[in-house]
Amino acid sequence: MSARNESNPKGEIVNSQLGKIKVDSEGSPVAGSRMDTSKAYSGVPGLLKKVINENDKAAWAKIVEKVDYIYSNLDYSLGGLDRETGFASQVKSQIRAGKKLLFKPNLVGPVAIDAGTHCEGLGASICTEWPLIAALMRWFHDRLDINYYQMALGEASTSALLMTVSFRLASGKDITTEALFEGRSEDFYGGWGFFFVRRYLSERHPSSHEDDPMKGYEDSVAGKFFPPGRSGDQLMVYDLNKLDEDLSRGRTVEVPDGANYKEITLHKVIVGGDPGDSEDLKDYPGCILINVPKLKIHAQDLITNATKNLGIGLYPTQAPCETGDGETKWKYACPSRSVPSYKGELPHMPWIVKMDDKTNLPVKDENGEYITTKTAGMPGTQADVIRAVQNQNVFMVHVSDGIDMINICHNPDGRAVRIPEGYVWASLDCVALDLLCARYCFKTVSMREALKLKEENGWPTEFVHHVPVARVDGTNIATEEGLDSPLFRYNLYRYAEARGVGQQKYYVVGWDALTETPMVSLKGHLGRIEDDKFLELMTKTMYYNPSCMLWDMQKTLLSYAEAHDKLTGSSLLKEFMDGFDENNDGIIDYDENGRKGFWTPGFRILNHSYDIMLTEKYGQLRGVFYSIADFGLKPSRKGWNSQGHDFMQEYALVMIATQAFDMSRSEEGGEDPFIPGMKWGKGMWPSWQLATYIQLTNGIYGSQSPDSINFQSLYGTAFQYADKTRNGGAYTGSTDQLTSNPSSIKNYLQAVSDGADPLNFTLYVPAGYGKLKAHRIPNVEETDDPRKVFTAHFGSGVEVW
């Protein structure tokens, strides 16, 4: 390390906007490096495709160069943290005692490598990047003299088993979840990429060392399990979900002051063996947990980072529980079958609704009200498992992958947006680390100005960012710039501190490789020092997740509701407040998600849709139809389903308002057909009626034009199914559920218009939704019958979706 990296300006007096002042030096240290993103893992997926498909040595050399660059900068993160805490000596001491160094990435959708093309997979951007894991493992090996066989990689990925089954069906090969993490199994490539971590480490491994990072690969792809104490000289990969294959792999541990759980069952690779069983302790000596999250904006919470990568990511999906009826049921995941996916049994919101396992719908009492229980919600779920692990004396180091931060979406559906920020942060305190990262994401106002505004407005924090705000402008709703912060209404960090998970107070040490200046914090604000001046480091991105829009961008959505009320006499603001503001303080915080527990049935329905996709001949079609109809549409109004469910009614407000926000940002737009003189797009917001119409037609058709009806819609899936099963695939060009002519719907509509017989199916929709651009769509019938709306009937009603 260079001399400049050894210098530590913490506590120094610097010139700042607030005058001469000391930089932070109290609290939990958070050490970081800021890299040139173009030299880090940017471009690796394209290079890796050349390596796999063409054995391109130059492409591999470029990947190695990029990993080397990350490795060289880790001294500023981990080296800086060691100087502040001395953690390296604790790690080495525990390694000598027999514990394993367990790297736990975030692999929520572990398909960084597409199995068909070997291009960048849909999960690449949202997973911890394998080049960072490669650099981290090398750092611990080279700097701390830890052998690779003293390390392991483990993950309890939500979707690993689901994706493995999908790969098996597509390839005909026996792909294990461990092989999915490896990214290679014999001649099959697809998954995350740990095989390439091994390859890099092998090439950067001193010839004098006897440990071999490639050892363990063959057993890994074969799905062979060796307890850490019996793994010998192998670098093993562990699927931390798999407790059902051998119950002895799990151990139920106490949760100190548990909120949602008094005890939790976890893999013994994490928590170690039974303290009263010496043989079990030999097999499971415990771990030093290297928590390596990917910094993302979350759909049900604020961010995914160090806390959530443990707080949700350690719970095993395949932890069976006793039901007494012989059926498979999981403690933390659903559905109750052999292939669980979402950890939907974990409280993701305070109000949890009782479920009917057979219908995947909520249960009502004799008065027609949902039977609900109030929990500690997402904060309790996360704090419980972290405290349980801490209580087992598991030493943890948190290293956050923020080289590319992820905006808009945290799921593997192609919507995630990489934001090149360049940071890798390391800390022993997940709360301090996450608060720093959250403050960075939601701050675009300088410290001096923000502190002044905080005092003037009585804000709880000065970490605010610029957001769009709606206002009435004549007959329109226009957009102007305002200020807001999700931290005004986010309680996790205070709650976690009170539970003993960590503390909110922190100070920063680190190095900015872009300017070759040290990084520090001043009153919690991130910055760097140049010529004795504190210069703030701020993002230029407006971070948010559309699925969490009401909480992330509350001022934006509620200003639209208020403006719409003033302009039209609607009562949207009252509807939002009545639906979500439980304590009537005028603020909807992240723990106020409505009283109907909509995520409980939501996860069940989404899980069942995956079950349909994996088990039925045309499941890829019916599963999509089911998820759209039964989660997004039917339960948003009592009259749209025969059971009178409305558990999505309040959240539907959020989806419609988010649709309106998207329409206001459109560069096209036009006249609003519902309110005379109103325009939308280019900063103008639509009427609530138009936003509702667009949002609903998107679900039905995936488009606003008959020329571009989407396959992934109610009409698109029903059309494909009817053509493939009752028309020999004449329009789609195939009876294979995964193969359809992109122009087939357009060709079909034209054929029917020219006099061809329509296919034998009927899609039922509410009144007013049977046309697109005044064109009646064939096979669509409008109805007010709650038994029929959003259902599809095939063969004159012989089969009903």
* Residue pLDDT, tens place only, 116-125: 999 999 999 9
Region 268-284: mean pLDDT is 98
The C-alpha torsion from 346 through 363 and 625 to 702, rounded to 10°, is: -80
DSSP assignment, residue 786? T
Q: Assess whether pLDDT exceeds 70 at residue 256.
A: yes
Please state, as a whole number, how many other Cβ atoms lie within 10 Å of the Cβ of residue 789. Answer: 22
> Over pLDDT 70: what percentage of the chain?
98
Domain limits, the chain: 29-341+388-443, 709-801
26: burial class by Cβ within 10 Å (0-12, 13-18, 19+)?
exposed
Closest to 612 (Cα-Cα) out of 624, 623, 628: 623
Q: Assess whether pLDDT exceeds 90 at residue 275.
A: yes
The C-alpha torsion from 255 through 261 and 266 to 272, rounded to 10°, is: 10
Q: What is the CA radius of gyration of the chain?
A: 27
**pLDDT-based confidence at 340, cuts 50/70/90?**
confident
Region 441-458: mean pLDDT is 98
- Whether the bond between 206 and the residue before it is cis, its omega within 30 degrees of 0, is no
Mean pLDDT of the chain: 96
Q: Assess whether pLDDT exceeds 50 at residue 2.
A: no
Region 72-89: mean pLDDT is 97
Q: In the structure encoding, which two tokens stand for residue 264, read together?
A: 């939790």
Q: Assess whether pLDDT exceeds 80 at residue 324.
A: no
E strands present in 617-770: 670-671, 679-680, 761-765
Q: What is the pLDDT of residue 1?
A: 34
CA pair distance 712, 740, nearest whole angstrom = 12
Q: What is the pLDDT of residue 170?
A: 82
Region 139-168: mean pLDDT is 94
Query: pLDDT digit string (tens) for 494-542?
Result: 999 999 999 999 999 999 999 999 999 999 999 999 999 999 999 999 9
CA pair distance 341, 355, nearest whole angstrom = 17
CA pair distance 605, 612, nearest whole angstrom = 10
Q: Assess whether pLDDT exceeds 80 at residue 435.
A: yes
Query: pLDDT digit string (tens) for 3-58?
Result: 334 467 888 999 999 999 999 999 999 999 999 999 999 999 999 999 999 999 99
Q: Assess whether pLDDT exceeds 80 at residue 323.
A: no
What DSSP element (H or E) covers 267?
A: strand 263-267
End-to-end CA gap in the chain: 64
Q: In the structure encoding, which two tokens stand for residue 439, read together?
A: 């403050």
Q: What is the pLDDT of residue 3?
A: 33
Q: Assess whether pLDDT exceeds 50 at residue 608.
A: yes
CA pair distance 286, 253, nearest whole angstrom = 13
Closest to 160 (Cα-Cα) out of 149, 143, 176: 176
Q: Beta strands 361-362 and 395-407: pairing type? A: unpaired
Please state, as a whole number, how many other Cβ atoms lie within 10 Å of the Cβ of residue 272. Answer: 25
Query: pLDDT digit string (tens) for 735-782?
Result: 999 999 999 999 999 999 999 999 999 999 999 999 999 999 999 999
Q: Higher-confidence residue: 352 or 338?
A: 352
**pLDDT-based confidence at 206, cuts 50/70/90?**
confident
